[in-house]
Structure 1
Amino acid sequence: MNKFIISLCVVVCQFYNASGQKRPDALFHTTAATSNQTIKPLKNGISFLAIGDFGRHGAYTQKEVAREMGVVAEILGIDFVVSVGDNFYPNGVQSTQDYQWISSFESIYTHHALHEPWYVALGNHDYAGNAQAQLDYSQISRRWEMPARYFEKLIEIDNGKFLQLLVLDTNPFIDKYQQNKEKYTGIEKQNTKKQLRWLEQKLANKNPEIVWKIVVGHHPLYSGGKRKTSKETLDIEAVFEPILEKHQVDAYITGHEHDLQVIQKPNKKLIQFLSGAGSELREAGTTEGTLFADSVPGFMAFSLNDKQLDVYVIEAKTNTYQVIYSQTLTK
């Protein structure tokens, strides 16, 4: 068996600092990826990257992550990028002419391989500004795509087989945002019941040509990080996990926590990929079902065809990248 394919036996790896004490952000994973691991696109498939919590005028590690995203994007020949939200800190953008579009996006993600569609979710910091401006920027940009606050993309993989990508707006489901309407502009106007009906309707599509179902949202269902036991995490899990499990969703891609995590709860089909390490970092941690967690600058890469989905968790290091975890899902 390929050493990078996830085994059924979970191996727990604890890492220690120079003083001999266990790091609080110790890695938990099921495969030991090494720096010489080859990233490669699957034959007859498509590839994409996932990034989140990034827009800080290039500060912290945003530029380093962007650089290695470009390198990996070229290797995989990516078809698109997924942003899980918190696209602009600290308070979103004010208009389509806001300088943050230049300083935090256009002048940062410059590699030609990153000039593919970006399918973008809204985060809580985006609601602190003019969220509508991010939708409107879709009419200006060749790559920024946010046609609505939640939307579907049916992406052909090969020979009439499709990936169903559903991008959610999880922000209106958070009580504390609803109670702070002055900060989170327009959030009270969002109809959560309507969005849930839409989600159920889309996931109920039984078209046999849809071979993968992936859902994107800013807020995680599970976390071992800062918000491990917070009300917002528990509430998002309570609302969305039953729906995603019911409809046999393959993966949930998320952010909000400023780290990299992979979590699959026991006896659940759904696996969560948390890619929130696009800029400023926070300490990571573990929870029930943690397969991997670390607080390093980075992103995730996905390559899939109609039979297989390869996932790479990638750390952006000095002038290079390293695959620090990988996993393969099969149909």
Structure 2
Amino acid sequence: MKKLIYITLILTFFACQPTKSPEKSVPQLSEDFQEIEDAYYVYTIGDWGRNGEDGQQELADMMGIAARKIEPEFIIATGDNFYPNGVASVQDPLWQSSYEEVYSAHSLNVDWYVVLGNHDYRGNPQAEVDYTNISRRWNMPSRYFHKDITTDDGASIRLVFIDTSPLNDEYYHEEKYKDKVIGQDTTAQLQWMDSLLAEKFDWKIVVGHHPLYSGGKRIDDQNFVRPHLEPRFEKFGVHAYLAGHEHDLQHIKPADKVTHHFISGAGSEVRPTGMLESSLFAESIQGFLSTAITKDSLYFEFVSYEGNRLYQFSQKK
């Protein structure tokens, strides 16, 4: 009898032990993603803030893996940072659930330079500016700003970060935007942009939320931002424009224009995309843009959340 009780106790003990769940497989970064010697690296994502959902966390994890292999000097965010309606204040819980706790890899603890998107305008845009004074890595000193860089190999770079929602003429007739954009001085912003772009740099890159061209969801829509920006890009020789808004990855280069257009808006939810006559690449998958800058070249790579190099392009000066 005692032997039976003893066996029963042993079986009960082992039956109550927690079962070990299978180890989660770690995605592998493609071996094609190789560092270019002496290049200055920047990563770009857009349209991302969804509490880690819709692939946001998976892409953030892959960015962390990529950044351990090739460290970016900083990360650019092309807007729509918090869905669906921006943030209410600098204490909004979305700061933690959609940003700090998602991009938590040590390798992503670098400076982030951020622009506003239309969804950010549905909330409190000024709170995203003010968060600059709270976060060590979040940088949005004003609604539009610039950053100048001189790389180790002597390349001079001017990055111009703009606020495109007030430049979108249709927003002045939409209830959810008109009261927010009407108070912005677009003339002052455009004059400021002209003064910056008129100066000589090896590379001039502009960052905004709304694309000037797209083969994505808005392929047939009238583009209200392009008339404000493209003449300036042409006049001052802007080499690349980085945007979001479309939830996909695209590279577009109109044959008769100077500027290359890159859409990196696949930070979380993605939508079907397509090609224009001037499209060089388009894909609907969560991913980010890696840009390597040297004195003579810009190298662009789209990398998926699975670690695959989707596309590579080299732009010579």
Q: What band does the TM-score fall into relative to the shorter chain?
A: 0.7 to 0.9
- In the alignment, structure 1 residue 229 sits paired with structure 2 residue 220: yes
Structure-1 separation of matches of 2:31 and 2:178: 43
- In the alignment, structure 1 residue 276 sits paired with structure 2 residue 276: no
Instruction: Note if contact 1:128-1:185 (Cα within 8 Å) is conserved in structure 2.
Output: no
- In the alignment, structure 1 residue 158 sits paired with structure 2 residue 144: no
- SS of the aligned residue for 1:311 comes to strand
Cα drift, residue 179 of structure 1: 2.2
Residue 204 of structure 2 corresponds to: 213
Structure-2 separation of matches of 1:90 and 1:230: 22
Instruction: Note if contact 1:224-1:290 (Cα within 8 Å) is conserved in structure 2.
Output: yes
- SS of the aligned residue for 1:158 comes to coil
Structure-2 separation of matches of 1:228 and 1:37: 34
Question: What's the TM-score once normalised by structure 2's chain length?
Answer: 0.88
Cα drift, residue 183 of structure 1: 4.5
- SS of the aligned residue for 1:189 comes to coil
Cα drift, residue 295 of structure 1: 0.4
Structure-1 separation of matches of 2:187 and 2:177: 22
Structure-1 separation of matches of 2:181 and 2:230: 22
- SS of the aligned residue for 1:222 comes to coil
Q: Which structure's relative contact order is higher, taking Cα pairs within 8 Å and 6+ residues apart? A: 1
Cα drift, residue 181 of structure 1: 5.2
Q: Which runs of 5 or more structure 1 residues have no equivalent in the other structure?
A: 1-34
Q: Once the two structures are superposed, what CA deviation does each residue of 1:285-306 show, in whole Å capped at 9, x if it has no partner?
A: 1112100001011111111111
Residue 255 of structure 2 aligns with an amino acid whose one-letter code is P
Instruction: Note if contact 1:51-1:278 (Cα within 8 Å) is conserved in structure 2.
Output: yes
Instruction: Note if contact 1:48-1:301 (Cα within 8 Å) is conserved in structure 2.
Output: yes
Q: Of 165, 172, 180, which aligns to 1:178?
A: 172
When structure 1 is superposed on structure 2, of 285-294 and 176-185 the one drifting more is 176-185
Structure 1 segment 286-301 matched on structure 2, within 5 A: 286-301=275-290
Structure 1 segment 105-254 matched on structure 2, within 5 A: 105-158=99-152, 160-180=154-174, 183=177, 186-206=180-200, 210-231=201-222, 234-254=223-243
- In the alignment, structure 1 residue 326 sits paired with structure 2 residue 312: yes
Q: Structure 1 residues 57, 185: CA separation in 2 closer, same or farther (over 3 Å shift)?
A: farther
Structure-2 separation of matches of 1:246 and 1:44: 31
Instruction: Note if contact 1:181-1:188 (Cα within 8 Å) is conserved in structure 2.
Output: no
Q: Structure 1 residues 184, 51: CA separation in 2 closer, same or farther (over 3 Å shift)?
A: farther
Q: Of 290, 294, 300, which aligns to 1:305?
A: 294
Structure-2 separation of matches of 1:329 and 1:314: 18
Residue 67 of structure 2 corresponds to: 73
- SS of the aligned residue for 2:202 comes to strand
Structure-1 separation of matches of 2:65 and 2:150: 24
Q: Once the two structures are superposed, what CA deviation does each residue of 1:50-94 show, in whole Å capped at 9, x if it has no partner?
A: 000000001110001101111112221110000000000000000
Instruction: Note if contact 1:297-1:316 (Cα within 8 Å) is conserved in structure 2.
Output: yes
Structure 1 segment 6-17 matched on structure 2, within 5 A: none
Structure 1 segment 90-105 matched on structure 2, within 5 A: 90-105=84-99
- SS of the aligned residue for 2:303 comes to strand
Residue 11 of structure 2 corresponds to: none
- SS of the aligned residue for 1:186 comes to helix
- SS of the aligned residue for 2:110 comes to coil
Instruction: Note if contact 2:55-2:286 (Cα within 8 Å) is conserved in structure 1.
Output: yes
When structure 1 is superposed on structure 2, of 179-188 and 271-280 the one drifting more is 179-188
Structure-1 separation of matches of 2:171 and 2:300: 32
- In the alignment, structure 1 residue 265 sits paired with structure 2 residue 254: yes
Q: Structure 1 residues 185, 114: CA separation in 2 closer, same or farther (over 3 Å shift)?
A: farther
Q: Which runs of 5 or more structure 2 residues have no equivalent in the other structure?
A: 1-28
Higher helix proportion: 2
Q: Aligned-pair RMSD on alpha carbons?
A: 1.4
Residue 269 of structure 1 aligns with an amino acid whose one-letter code is V
Structure-2 separation of matches of 1:154 and 1:174: 27
Residue 243 of structure 1 aligns with an amino acid whose one-letter code is R
- SS of the aligned residue for 1:47 comes to strand
Q: Once the two structures are superposed, what CA deviation does each residue of 1:12-53 show, in whole Å capped at 9, x if it has no partner?
A: xxxxxxxxxxxxxxxxxxxxxxx8552233323310110000
Structure-2 separation of matches of 1:221 and 1:61: 26
Structure-1 separation of matches of 2:48 and 2:198: 33
Structure-2 separation of matches of 1:45 and 1:155: 13
Residue 328 of structure 1 aligns with an amino acid whose one-letter code is S
Instruction: Note if contact 1:48-1:73 (Cα within 8 Å) is conserved in structure 2.
Output: no
Runs of 4 or more, structure 1, over 6 Å off, are: none
